[in-house]
Amino acid sequence: MSDHLMKTYARLPVAFVRGEGAWLYDEDGTRYLDAISGIAVCSLGHADPVLADALCDQARTLIHTANLGHIRLQERLAERLCTITGMDRAFITNTGAEAIETVLKLARRFGFERGIEQPKILVVEGAFHGRTLGAISASAPGKLQHGFAPLVDGFVRVPYGDADAARAALAGDPSIVAMLLEPIQGEGGVKRPPDGYLTALRRACDEHRALLMVDEIQTGLCRTGRWYAHQHEPDCRPDVLASAKALGNGVPVAACLARGAAAEVLTPGSHGTTYGGNPLACRAALTVLDRMEALDLNARAETMGARLVERLRERLAGCERVVEIRGRGLMIGVELADPAGDVRDHALKQHVLINVTHERVIRLLPPLIIDADQARTIADAVADGVLGR
């Protein structure tokens, strides 16, 4: 235990020093099955050899120049992400919160250019968008915001999953220039909105000339069985998209993508970053995208997710402690009727690493490369914990 780290985390009593695929090893060499991937980051698993080789090669070639000259790897990454999403332009950042800050600034600038002096952004209840002041202001009130007033102004909040409420808010306030939301809420408890929600929001935003902006930081990059989770629904291509987490498999790299008029509002001098989009980070992201495609991780997330959920349902059928088992692909939540901390501790004793969010929701975000045996081991560790075995 360090006396010199700020006490921002209640940490598990374990220190990992090495990884391989879906396995993590602690200081004593004990092996753990990772069912959280560093919070949806290490989707390729740990120590992926192709990524490791690419990083070594890039480190020996060029790590950083700042955005002073052209960065060919950054151009290639932007093009690749735009092809995957149907967007026009990218701004490459280091973290999810920075990508969200870019999203928020872009929306304000978009409103400003339309003559709206105090543009507002519509957000939803239960949201999590990161830890910067702008991001916590856009997120759900509560412990994220507690003690950090004055927050950033200009957010209007409506219930999640309720397209009519969003439409009414947009219709009632012409200063709302954009709506920001997660296609599935991660930190908010793996909450999945009703089918058709995003398509309805797309239409509502079109009617009111507002931008539809999706935070796909957790849901993106094959996690739910699509490159990005909004792609499950037809006709809901967003105007702005934030991506991070799995993009570098642990190397910090993130992106704000935009299309149409939204892609043109940030101009020279209006926004920037020192590290963002450096050659090392972009090489990592390009390699990750190649690996995801080569390993067909969308298909794998769907099949392994289905197996994991099937096993959970089988083992937990009739269990009164379970409120709901839900999710999409390998983004899975098991909501309990009471706090789930004991389940996490129980799984850790069985050497399976899981996570609890929103107090009562067991969250599973295993590497997308898991096999059927590993999916079963994860489900059994959760079920044993829930059933108190």
Could you list the residues that contact ligand PLP (CB under 6 A)? Answer: 95-97, 100, 128-130, 182, 186-187, 215, 217-218, 244-245
Pairwise CA distance, residues 267 & 265, whole Å: 6
Nearer to ligand PLP among residue 187 and residue 335 (C-beta): 187
Give min distance, CB of 388 to ligand PLP, in A: 30
* Residue nearest ligand PLP (C-beta atom): 96
Nearer to ligand PLP among residue 96 and residue 385 (C-beta): 96
Q: Which residues contact 338 (CB under 8 A, 6 or more apart)?
A: 321, 360
Catalytic pick among 91, 128, 155, 191: 128
Give min distance, CB of 186 to ligand PLP, in A: 4
Pairwise CA distance, residues 212 & 181, whole Å: 8
Is the C-alpha dihedral spanning 48, 40, 303, 240 positive or negative? negative
Nearer to ligand PLP among residue 245 and residue 307 (C-beta): 245
Instruction: Please classify residue 133 by burial: count the beta carbons closer than 10 Å to its beta carbon, then call 0-12 exposed, 13-18 middle and 19+ buried.
Output: middle
Give min distance, CB of 96 to ligand PLP, in A: 2
Buried b or exposed e, range 151-171, using 16+ CB within 10 angstroms: eeebbbbbebbbbebbbebbe
Give min distance, CB of 312 to ligand PLP, in A: 22
Nearer to ligand PLP among residue 131 and residue 351 (C-beta): 131
Give min distance, CB of 286 to ligand PLP, in A: 19
> Phi/psi at 182 (nearest 5 deg)?
-90, 135
Nearer to ligand PLP among residue 138 and residue 295 (C-beta): 138
> Phi/psi at 96 (nearest 5 deg)?
-60, -45
Instruction: Look at residue 16 and give its three-state secondary structure.
Output: strand
- Told to judge if 53 belongs to the known catalytic residues of this protein, a careful annotator would answer no
Catalytic pick among 34, 48, 215, 239: 215
Please give the distance of CA 114 from its chain centroid, rounded to a whole number: 30
Catalytic pick among 120, 155, 239, 245: 245
Q: Which residues contact 73 (CB under 8 A, 6 or more apart)?
A: 279, 282, 283, 286
Nearer to ligand PLP among residue 126 and residue 385 (C-beta): 126
Give min distance, CB of 194 to ligand PLP, in A: 19
Q: Contact, 223 vs 329, CB < 8 A?
A: yes
- Of 322, 314, 365, the residue nearest 343 (C-alpha): 322
- Told to judge if 215 belongs to the known catalytic residues of this protein, a careful annotator would answer yes
Active site residues: 128, 215, 245
